[in-house]
Amino acid sequence: MTRAFWLTDQPLSIDETVRHVTRPEAGAVNTFIGTVREFTEGKRTLQLEYQAYIPMAEKKLQQIGEEIQARYGNAEVAICHRLGRLQISDIAVVIAVSTPHRNDAFEASRYAIERIKEIVPIWKKEYWEGGEEWIGDQLETQPYPSGGPGKEDMV
């Protein structure tokens, strides 16, 4: 089996991600699929570009998998993230979590996407009708108050 945490400039496969976590002990496989949104606060996005600090980003995705196993016990996690130019509705990220019971799978996939937005060095550049901009932290949810990782994230 290939790695369960990876970045690629090729289209993401939901099936491949799910295959990583499918197993006899699982009674639930939950997926989260992040896609490119056309309108953000009335502004029209034409396309996106994702850039990453690839070796660190893959390590941090793996760390999120380990955090989920520590929090939820019997859980398997796979996460892949797209890099490069993406069009509207393209898949940017796929998260798959399997657990024996559904509640943990739902919660853990939520945990994974929130954590990606905190500690994984991936950046999105939006190309609007009138220009382009690298996007900073997305405050849709509550990030670290300082906008960065806490002491517990440092070695």
Residues of this chain, 20-49, that bind other proteins according to CB under 8 A: 34
79 touches 62 (CB < 8 A): no
Give me the phi and psi of 48, to 5 degrees please: -125, 155
Q: Which of residues 36, 80, 92, 105 is near other proteins by CB under 8 A?
A: 92
Helix (H) or strand (E) holding 123: strand 122-128
Q: Which stretch binds other proteins (CB under 8 A): 17-25, 39-47, 66-74, 114-122?
A: 114-122
Q: How far is the CB of 27 from other proteins (least distance, A)?
A: 27
CA 10, CA 21: separation in Å to the nearest integer? 21
Cβ closer to other proteins: 100 or 110?
A: 110
C-alpha span between 139 and 1 (Å, rounded): 36
Interface with other proteins by CB under 8 A: which residues? 34, 50-53, 55-57, 59, 81, 92-93, 113, 116-125, 134-138, 147-149, 151, 153-155
